Structure 1
Amino acid sequence: MRMRDTFIKPMHPEGIKFVAIFAAITLVLFLIWQPLGWIGVGLTVWCYYFFRDPERVTPDRPGLIISPADGVVSLIEKAVPPAELGMADEPLTRVSVFMSVFNCHVNRTPIAGEIKAVAYRPGKFFNASLDKASKDNERNSLRIEMEDGRDLAVVQIAGLVARRIVWWVEPGSKLRTGERFGLIRFGSRLDVYLPDGVQPMVKIGQTMIAGETVLADLTAQG
């Protein structure tokens, strides 16, 4: 890897207009007062890195469930998947990955399969690290039918400063493990509802890398 590639990452197209806005404001700030302009430069660089979209090397062994988001595991608990997905009304193990404003916010498919349902629901904007965010916050939910016929749910949840959930998949879409499916702007969380009987291989506080960190293994013996 070249030294330049360590610091300069590809940017998702969703971020182009925001970086342009930050850059334009920075030019105005320089005209007003040079120190303000340098603050604008720092914020523009941050905006660019927020929308970074680096390539990831996804494990390709069948049965692995991969983290859909960069961030930290904030919760592991039993919970019923969002009702709008039409899944069974039984608690499943939910693993929540909290993304700060410094994480890459491009979301990736945790496991290969077909999208059976996509359900957006408006809501509030509590801190995404809180448990009640799963129930009350704005969210977009996906139900993925895996190759073995079982379902897995992944939910994008808006956070305290997030005001836009983006996704580009629809029912019938067939995705590979680690494939990009959406992003959330400015601080948020991803919940993964594991199939019944599948145990997570991560712990609260663990750092996750979207498309790379193994979250669970369908073939593991409990």
Structure 2
Amino acid sequence: MIIIIHREGIPFLIYAFVIMLLVIFISIFLFSKSINLFISIFFIVLYVFFIFFFRNPKINFYDNTSYNENKEKEIVSPADGKIVDIKKIFENEFIRKDCICISIFMSPFNVHVNRFPISGKIIYVKYHPGKYIIAWFQKASLNNERTTTVIETKKKQKILFRQIAGFLARRISIYAKKGSLVRKGEEFGFIKFGSRVDVYLPLKSTILIKKGEKVIGGKTKISIIP
């Protein structure tokens, strides 16, 4: 099976390979054969994990090639992971009114590619520097390093979603550009090593998933907006 590596991972994997190879080479002269073998196996396992983490598997993305009013209202998950919260909350950065917030937690073992949950025009993009609280906690959405993106649909509905860095994550990559027209399922970013994505939906939205459910980015339908 061929593993496709995401572009965010290629520089990291090259640097990690060189550093690990150098450490293994130096350990040959400093330690016994048994210790050197342990170090070599450890780095091999660690490198395989890095490859696994930066994988970008091809999936059959949600089909939105032809216009369909019902499909246009369907929101898909922006990330692989687990639904950790679904609740009513006041969104105070852009929408500034009560919304339904769906929080998706990505562990280090999930695919970390982020995808647009709906098609439309990007009307707002902002990066916020911050802390690195464990992404599972709700306060991470206000205190952690994060990005906020808002898409306006053809029906003028505004859908906000937020990348949130976690305890291990130290870099958020976002490709969304204000003014761009985007399609559901396309990549909009990547977060390294554990993180969360929140989606803010209109109050009258129909929720199709439940807390604790596992979802697939660009594929699992999570809601239908009014």
TM-score by length of 2: 0.89
Q: Tell me the residue number matched to 1:147.
A: 154
Q: Given the alignment, which residue of 201, 208, 212 partners 2:208?
A: 201
- Displacement, 1:93? 0.3
Partner Cα distance (1:96, 1:16) in 2: 29
- Displacement, 1:50? 1.1
Q: Given the alignment, which residue of 7, 12, 18 partners 1:18?
A: 12
Tell me if the contact between 1:72 and 1:97 (Cα under 8 Å) persists in the aligned partners.
Answer: yes
- Displacement, 1:82? 4.6
Give the aligned CA root-mean-square deviation in angstroms.
1.3
Tell me if the contact between 1:156 and 1:189 (Cα under 8 Å) persists in the aligned partners.
Answer: yes
Cα distance per residue 1:142-195 (max 9 Å; x no partner)? 010012111000100000011111011211111111000101111100000012
Q: Given the alignment, which residue of 30, 46, 58 partners 1:43?
A: 46
Tell me if the contact between 2:201 and 2:225 (Cα under 8 Å) persists in the aligned partners.
Answer: no
Q: Tell me the residue number matched to 2:87.
A: 77
Partner Cα distance (2:15, 2:148) in 1: 30
Aligned residues: 210
User: Secondary structure of the equivalent of 2:12?
Assistant: helix
Task: Supply the AA of the counterpart residue of 2:38.
Answer: P
Partner Cα distance (1:192, 1:154) in 2: 4
Q: Tell me the residue number matched to 2:66.
A: none
Q: Tell me the residue number matched to 1:215.
A: 222
Q: Given the alignment, which residue of 76, 93, 97 partners 1:66?
A: 76
Tell me if the contact between 1:139 and 1:157 (Cα under 8 Å) persists in the aligned partners.
Answer: yes
Q: Which deviates the most, 19-28 or 161-170?
A: 19-28
Tell me if the contact between 2:77 and 2:217 (Cα under 8 Å) persists in the aligned partners.
Answer: yes
Answering whether residue 192 of structure 2 is matched by residue 185 of structure 1, we say yes
Partner Cα distance (1:102, 1:139) in 2: 20
Partner Cα distance (1:137, 1:51) in 2: 22
Identity of aligned residues (%): 39
- Ranges of 4+ aligned residues in structure 1 off by more than 4 Å: none
Q: Tell me the residue number matched to 2:127.
A: 120
Partner Cα distance (2:190, 2:160) in 1: 16
Cα distance per residue 1:103-134 (max 9 Å; x no partner)? 11010000101100001111111100011111
Partner Cα distance (2:17, 2:90) in 1: 44
Partner Cα distance (1:82, 1:166) in 2: 23
Partner Cα distance (1:165, 1:21) in 2: 19
Partner Cα distance (1:218, 1:132) in 2: 26
TM-score by length of 1: 0.90
Partner Cα distance (2:147, 2:90) in 1: 15
Partner Cα distance (1:197, 1:178) in 2: 23
Tell me if the contact between 1:22 and 1:40 (Cα under 8 Å) persists in the aligned partners.
Answer: no
Structure number, greater radius of gyration = 2
Gaps of 5+ in 2: 28-35, 64-70
